[in-house]
Amino acid sequence: MTEPHTPRRRPTLVAVGHGSRDPRARATLSRLLDRVRELRPGLDVRLAHIELNAPLLDAILAELAAEGRDAVLVPLLLAPGHHVTHDLPAALAAVPALRARLAAPLGAHPLLVEALADRLAQAGWTPGDGDSPATGVVLASAGSRDPRSGAETRRIAALLGERLGGVPVLPAYASAAAPTVPEAVRVLTARGRHRIAVASCFTAPGLFATRAAAHAPWIASDPLGAHPALARLVLHRYDTAPRPTTRGRELATV
């Protein structure tokens, strides 16, 4: 007599945020994951943080290993950097009993650009602004010393510029990289762009997003938060995470 076949459970989606002292950040990511659950009923979705907020990633990974679950880590980060290329692989290596894969960061994807453009529209951007020679956009993000992070942010800026009808979009950074938001504003102003918006390329509210918005000469969009397109992108990264190789866990490429 053969044993009945038991379908394998889908891996748990572990959405990994950075963590923030801003109390709005954790609540915002929780709402984002509620949208993810609505889109994929029955999928086990859990939030983890690299630092500052509970639950911390190490605790979630240990919990999943104890439950005998598989996992796919989806970084709620916009570009590759030290956290994606070092901290997350190190956290997985510390729990060898856990079968897990690491997805790509959110990155330069049409769904991300959809969310960025929609947040700008909510802040006051209109289709006519895309035709104006006076408008420009500063894409504000966290920043990283990893050159791959800067390259990815520039790709996001280029895609957003196309989405907005060819408006110049300059990337700027809150830390670790140049230019800063005020510097990017000055560059656009020197080009005759005096109606300058700041697009917040952050997943949740926090110190960096608040500082970036404060430098907006015109309008500043809210962080991406629980935007429906971002929820779809989280699931896309989950679905396309690479299969493990014979060398073990693998980081997805953007």
Q: Give the model confidence (pLDDT) of 61-118 as tens digits.
A: 999 999 999 999 999 999 887 778 889 999 999 999 999 999 999 999 999 999 999 9
pLDDT of residue 244: 63
Q: What is the pLDDT of residue 246?
A: 35
Reading the chain (254 residues) residue by residue, the pLDDT tens digits are: 444 444 568 999 999 998 888 989 999 999 999 999 999 999 999 999 998 888 999 999 999 999 999 999 999 999 887 778 889 999 999 999 999 999 999 999 999 999 999 999 999 999 999 999 999 999 999 988 888 999 999 999 999 999 999 999 999 999 878 899 999 999 999 999 999 999 999 999 999 999 999 999 999 999 999 999 999 999 999 999 987 643 344 444 44
The whole-number pLDDT of residue 20 equals: 87
Predicted confidence at residue 8, as pLDDT, reads 67
Tokens 């923030």 correspond to 20
pLDDT of 35 reads 98
Q: Kind of pairing, strands 169-173 and 45-49?
A: unpaired
pLDDT score, position 177? 85
Contacts of residue 86, defined as CB under 8 A and 6 or more positions apart, other chains included, come to none
Residue 246 exposed, middle or buried by CB count within 10 Å (0-12, 13-18, 19+) = exposed
Q: Quick one: which of 153, 121, 118 has its CA closest to 138? A: 153
- Model pTM score: 0.91
